[in-house]
Chains A and B, each alone.
Chain A
Amino acid sequence: DAGVTQSPTHLIKTRGQQVTLRCSPKSGHDTVSWYQQALGQGPQFIFQYYEEEERQRGNFPDRFSGHQFPNYSSELNVNALLLGDSALYLCASRPPGQEDYGYTFGSGTRLTVV
């Protein structure tokens, strides 16, 4: 049973460009969250998707947007990339109706903005 799958693994982009990161949740999971983890820091919550809608959002600018598809997979889009967007982006999923449940994380996408 595959866990959470993220693609690509690594990505290098130029400042000002746009990027799309992809996530497939674990089988049976319908809630997807995205986190940004800067080097040496803990992950920071970007937003969460459930039933194809953004349900919660962290303190990130509108340059960060997302989408969830009917098959529960999700995308994270970042526009007008800044050097400070360089980080590990993590996707996490959870089963339906399980608020009191640990998340399953993917291995992340390492984004480098130059």
Chain B
Amino acid sequence: SQQGEEDPQALSIQEGENATMNCSYKTSINNLQWYRQNSGRGLVHLILIRSNEREKHSGRLRVTLDTSKKSSSLLITASRAADTASYFCATAPGAGGTSYGKLTFGQGTILTVHP
């Protein structure tokens, strides 16, 4: 089953614009991760935010986490054509459970950045 739901399903922007993707989840989490996938191949880990963190930055990426709303957002600033890919959020279950190693992915957002 898919815990995360991402919004929008598809996003089309021009180079230089910012892209914002949102993710909602249902159960308690230990951390939330964002991955990128190009052309249906392997996933690349972008950033991880722990349940006790509210915001994290990595280069042009900014992730926020609101555990009270069970939601996260990924912001890509000054987008480039090379950012064109599918982006997935994935949640790791809350500590204390037996499923700490399992990631539950959303269905992803397809981002297209036009040159």
Closest beta carbon of chain A to B83's beta carbon, Å: 18
Cβ contact within 8 Å between A90 and B43? yes
Q: Check: A48 CB closer than 8 A to any chain B CB.
A: yes
Residues from chain A with a CB closer than 8 A to the CB of B44 are 105
Whole-angstrom distance from the CB of B28 to the nearest CB of chain A?
15
Binds B, one of A61-69, A71-79, A95-103: A95-103
Structural contact, A102 and B33, CB atoms closer than 8 A:
yes
Is the CB–CB distance between B50 and A100 below 8 Å?
yes
Which B33-50 residues sit within 8 Å CB-CB of chain A?
A: 33, 35, 40-45, 47-48, 50
Nearest chain B CB to A72 CB, angstrom units: 15
Binary interface profile of A, 73-114, with partner B (CB < 8 Å = 1, else 0)? 000000000000000101010100001111111111010000
Using a Cβ–Cβ cut-off of 8 Å, how many residues does chain A contribute to the interface with B?
33
Partner of A45, one of B30, B40, B41, B104: B104
Q: Which residues of A approach B to under 8 Å, CB–CB? A: 4, 31, 33, 35, 37, 39-45, 48, 50, 55-56, 58-59, 88, 90, 92, 94, 99-108, 110
- For residue B67, give the distance in angstroms from its CB to the closest CB of chain A: 15
Q: List 8 A-B contacts (CB under 8 A).
A: A33-B102, A42-B90, A42-B105, A42-B106, A43-B88, A99-B30, A105-B35, A105-B42
In the complex formed, the residue of A with least CB distance to B50 is A100
- List the B side residues contacting A37 at CB < 8 Å: 40
Across the interface, do B98 and A56 meet the contact criterion of CB distance under 8 Å? yes
* A-contacting residues, B11-54, CB 8 Å: 30-31, 33, 35, 40-45, 47-48, 50
Measured in the bound complex, the distance between the Cα atoms of B72 and A100 in whole Å is 17
Among B4, B42, B102, B107, point to the contact of A107 (Cβ < 8 A): B42
**Distance in angstroms between the alpha carbons of A40 and B88 in the assembled complex:** 12
In the complex, whether B103 has a CB less than 8 A from a CB of chain A is: yes
Contact B103 A45 (CB under 8 A): yes
Q: Mark B64-103, 1 if CB is under 8 A from A, else 0.
A: 0000000000000000000000001010100000111111
Q: In the complex, how many angstroms separate the beta carbon of B9 from the nearest chain A beta carbon?
A: 10
